[in-house]
Copies of this chain bind each other. A is one copy, B any other.
Amino acid sequence: MNTTDAVLARIDAGLPDALARWMEWLRIPSVSAQPAHAADCRRAAAYAAAQLADIGFAVSVRDTAGLPCVLGHHPGPGGDAPHLLYYGHYDVQPAEPFELWTHPPFEPALVDGPHGRRVVARGAVDDKGQAAMWLTALRAWHAETGTLPCRVTALIEGEEEINSINLKPFIAAHRDELRADIAVISDTNMWDIDTPAISASLRGIVYIQVELKAASRDLHSGMFGGSALNPINALVAALGQLKDSSGRVQLAGFYDGVRDIPAGRASQWVSLGFDEARFLGDIGLTTPSGEAGRTALERLWARPTCDINGIWGGYQGPGAKTVIAAEAGAKVSFRLVPGQDPAKIVEAFRQFMLDRVPPDARLSFQLFGCGAGIEIPTDNRFVQAAAEALAAEYGKPAALIGCGGSIPVVETLRHELGLDTLLMGFGLDDDQVHSPNEKFELRCFHKGTRSHARLLGALGAGKRG
């Protein structure tokens, strides 16, 4: 048995312990968006730091202007072993609406499903479950060999779900500590449960809250209706123009820089045989939304979007209240693709709204995220090694896919450190990420952990050999 095989056997035997550690982390409601959970976030950071210390890392919890980052270093075997920067995040999305959960979101439950057992909890996959995989792989290597096959830096942040608002200055301030040969992130999906995947592009995001204030107080719609500005009507009239009937976003210059995907990638995506009818059927829909005239995977991976993520105003209770509200608001996000300039889109949205509201409508904007879409280079030895590790684990080649979501750190690492990223994730499309009943398949967790262990072995052996 070579060392990697011994490590894999150790992972198999230690699965119950790994599950217990993962679930303990999930019990901490580290919701970064909600200030009431700030202390929980710090507990989740401390828990991650303790895990790294267990594996021989020199680790500490570092303050930022917001929630802290966990930063640890392991020297590895020395020599010319490559230096990997693992990135993960200990924060999770809000769990609301609680009443739709079959189990309390912060009391992780092991539940039977079509693929065997799964863990149901907020953060089960995003990202505690995915980070727990590489933590478990590192732990197994450390237990088996007393060291790691590569030099490893681990960075686990606490604000990914709020668009990593303080991560950029943190990385800039710790450039020397964060240098590495490649960043490794597990926060993306497989193609399906049998087919591993490496992501080759990420969409960026601009996330803006807009509020519209009108009268100085709520008004009676009988006494004032027809004379007083209604902020909900005004907000809705403007937001309702964000897309035309073919699904194209109407901000000025929105598509500037957006390129059609290369023919080679287009044909590779077609060869994946994506079944959009089934994808939509799983969520109760029949008809694709979004831009007309594009393939399904193009719309998901290579075209920008506009979604209103939240809206509020006036009376939301039962029955009727004949009120004209004093204010209304919405959260609007744009997924961006490589070539679009996020700062220009922020300004275009601001101008779009200002141009469309009547006099007396006082608009205010809050920016909660502003990151570009990016291409991930795949022509390097790290991606090659990952593809081999995945093929060995799954018995079939990894798909090279796009990712519709955004992982702000990827752009930051490239910009601040010139560092490329390997995106090797093990989530599934039906994991209900950001939704009630988020789950992670134990099978994905187990084989994902084994894939990470294989990758570490291959990179270490490759350098040493």
Contact = CB atoms under 8 A, between A and B. Distances in A.
Contacts of A215: 283-285
A320 B219 contact: no
8 closest residue pairs by CB, A with B: A240-B240, A222-B405, A216-B284, A310-B314, A33-B319, A320-B368, A226-B299, A287-B359
Given A218-B436, A222-B403, A321-B33, A236 B227 contact: no
Interface string A206-233: 0101000011111111111111111011
B236 A239 contact: yes
Contacts of A279: 227
Contacts of A434: 218-221, 321-323
Name the residue among A237, A311, A436 with the largest chain B CB count within 10 angstroms.
A311
A335 B222 contact: yes
Contacts of A93: 321-323
Contacts of A321: 33, 93-94, 161, 309-310, 331, 434
A189 interface: yes
A358 B358 CA distance: 28
A303 B226 CA distance: 8
A360 B287 contact: yes
Interface string A290-328: 110000100110010111111111111111111111001
Interface residues of A, number: 101
A219 B435 contact: yes
Interface in A111-155: none
Q: How many copies of this chain sit in the oligomeric assembly?
A: 2
5 contacts: A33-B317, A222-B335, A237-B240, A309-B320, A310-B315
Contacts of A94: 315, 317, 321
Interface in A321-371: 321-325, 328, 330-331, 333, 335, 358-360, 368-369
Given A296-B227, A308-B233, A358-B289, A433 B220 contact: yes
Interface in A187-220: 189, 203, 205, 207, 209, 214-220
Given A93-B323, A223-B433, A230-B289, 11 more contacts: A100-B217, A161-B321, A219-B435, A222-B404, A222-B405, A230-B307, A232-B309, A233-B307, A238-B240, A287-B359, A310-B314
B205 A317 contact: no
Name the residue among A239, A310, A328 with the largest chain B CB count within 10 angstroms.
A310
